[in-house]
Amino acid sequence: MRPAEVLKQMKELKEAWRKQSFVFTREQKAEYDKLLQLRRERVQYMLKNGMVSKGGVKKKEVDPTTP
């Protein structure tokens, strides 16, 4: 399953959850848990392979008065 499809299905399940008074059925809960696990695996893969931006590195400013 493509990552975009996982996110789309998770969003649809969250909308259904809201409409159902914030309660999942057993089938919906099982599907959401499966999608969540797929998403977590994808994120871990991206972190492991350096595919995530971690922000710029701050350079230390040199104090001109220090010898």
> What pLDDT shows up at residue 3?
92
Per-residue pLDDT band at 65 (split at 50, 70, 90): confident
| Distance of alpha carbon 5 from alpha carbon 8, whole angstroms | 5
Q: pTM for the whole thing?
A: 0.74
Q: 61: which 2 tokens?
A: 């400013």
- So where are the chain's domains? 3-48
Task: From 38, 4, 39, 36, select the one nearest 17 (Cα to Cα).
Answer: 36
Q: So what's the pLDDT on residue 67?
A: 60
Rounded alpha-carbon distances, angstroms, from residue 47 to 53, 59, 63: 9, 24, 35
66 or 65: whose pLDDT is higher?
Answer: 65
Q: Which residue has the higher pLDDT, 6 or 52?
A: 6
